[in-house]
Structure 1
Amino acid sequence: MKRSNIRIIGVPEQQEEEQGLENLFEEIISENFPEVGKKKVTQAQRVPKKMNPQRPTPRHIILTMANVQDKERILKAARERWKVTYKGSPIRLSNDFSTETHLTRKQWMEIYKVMQSKGLNPRILYPARLSLKIEGEIRRFTDKKRLREFISTKPAMQERLKGLV
């Protein structure tokens, strides 16, 4: 399901108190993407506070756009521009995944980390697929069952990933 949410990462928390999140987004758009024009935001909020002393970054902002096409235009412009700033400091604009997609991607992380430590160079693709380059061929797996079936045909992979899948 396509969602019309954008996640903004890296905006200091004091900024919202001064002008509100909707106005802050309009300022970011006018500063970085004047060609996109003014887009309507229906809802804006900071994610809930989960303090982690190891990572003192500001909370993300989630914006709900009026429609999906506006979100896609803004994200496309952000990808083309490469560097998006707010008052001179770099920020990131990204897609806000659904909860289901986030949980599915999280399930791949244990396998991803083990494969990365073994030098297999895995990737997690959108929305939640694992990709591996094996014997010069790129393989994509949508779930653990398919990965398990593939590994069962490769004895060398079975030994490297013993007990993981």
Structure 2
Amino acid sequence: MEDMKVSIIAEIKQIHADISNEINEATDQLKRELGDFRGEMNTKLNAIETDIKDVTTRVEAAEDRINEMEAFNTDARDLLSHSLELQEQLQTRLEDLEARSRRNNIRIHGIEEEAEGDDITGFVERLIKTELALPDTPLGIQRCHRSLAAKPPHGANPRSIVLCFLEFQIKERVLQSAWKRKDIQYKGKRIFFEQDYTSDILAKRKAYAPIRRALKEKNLRCQTLHPARLRVHLQTGTVIYRDLQEAANDLKGRGVINTETFNQVTKYKDPSGPRMVKSAWQNAGTSRRQRERIKDIQEKLKEFRRNVDATS
């Protein structure tokens, strides 16, 4: 009996020792695996950190380039807006100069080609003095010629005849006499006298055609005033419109023109060309800071041009 107890105790001690050894081996293996895992994770984290730093550097560089592009875009837009404003001012002045150079001119429409023969000035003088009843008026025509367009084919509308008078008063007298007579004919065909307008003004005046037709259908009188205004005699009184859009909007609101006529008018494009539309957040005026920035941009462009010229 005593021997069995000793034997059992010995077996228990052996089992305890075996279990302790297995636990120690498992613990050592787990420590080794955890160490390997930690090293692998550190390596991967270092690689990720390097990638993040690289991405951060690239993002910062991209942000810098975007900021530069935004600043350049703002400067370029301001300069373009300023250039378009200058262009519009120059175009207005040029239009005014051209109109002033034509202030002594008259155009005659409807005279057949070659009807003037070899002496167009003498032909026009005889026509004016006879048809406008100005026999004793010294006309003083400086220049007289057909419009510079190509000669039209037979049967097409003839080119107009352009007259330049020495004196503005004589030109106005001839024009007023022609307008008073209204129906002036040459060889059975009606001819017209009118002011010699620039191409832009003429296009603006012609754009009123749909409105004039609508007014005529309603027996309402209208006149196209210089340079491109419209005077309408309504039942409530006379109204003068400064431009086509103002006339269309007001007459549409009064019910004088219908939607079809209004749509025809709104399709008209200003011959002066497109204008740059400002963003909603942009101030329409030019501030002092903006003017200084534009001046700085212009100086940079001049410097760039000098550098290009020096290297070429």
CA distance in 1 between counterparts of 2:201 and 2:140 reads 26
Instruction: Determine the structure 2 residue equivalent to 1:71.
Output: 171
SS at match of 1:37: coil
Could you say which structure has the higher strand fraction? Answer: 1
Q: How does 1:48-59 map to 2 (within 5 A)?
A: 48-49=149-150, 51=152, 56-59=156-159
Larger radius of gyration: 2
SS at match of 2:169: helix
Match of 1:23 among 118, 122, 130: 122
Aligned residues: 160
Percent sequence identity is 22
Q: TM-score, normalised by structure 2?
A: 0.41
Tell me by how many angstroms 1:107 deviates: 3.2
Q: TM-score, normalised by structure 1?
A: 0.68
Instruction: Verify the 8 A CA contact 1:9 1:59 in the aligned structure 2.
Output: yes
Could you say which structure has the higher helix fraction? Answer: 2
CA distance in 1 between counterparts of 2:142 and 2:157 reads 25
Unaligned runs of 5+ in 2: 1-98, 267-312
Alpha-carbon distance change, 145 to 56 in structure 1, aligned in 2, over 3 angstroms = closer
Instruction: Determine the structure 2 residue equivalent to 1:107.
Output: 207
Tell me by how many angstroms 1:125 deviates: 1.9
Q: How does 1:65-144 map to 2 (within 5 A)?
A: 65-86=165-186, 90-112=190-212, 115=214, 119=218, 121=220, 123-127=222-226, 128-132=228-232, 136-144=236-244
Q: Which has the higher contact order (CA 8 A, sep 6+)?
A: 1
Instruction: Verify the 8 A CA contact 2:215 2:221 in the aligned structure 1.
Output: yes
CA distance in 2 between counterparts of 1:122 and 1:89 reads 25
Tell me by how many angstroms 1:23 deviates: 1.4
Tell me by how many angstroms 1:138 deviates: 3.6
CA distance in 2 between counterparts of 1:50 and 1:36 reads 34
Kindly report the root-mean-square deviation, in angstroms, between the aligned alpha carbons of the 2 structures.
Answer: 3.8
- Name the amino acid aligned to 1:79: W
Unaligned runs of 5+ in 1: none
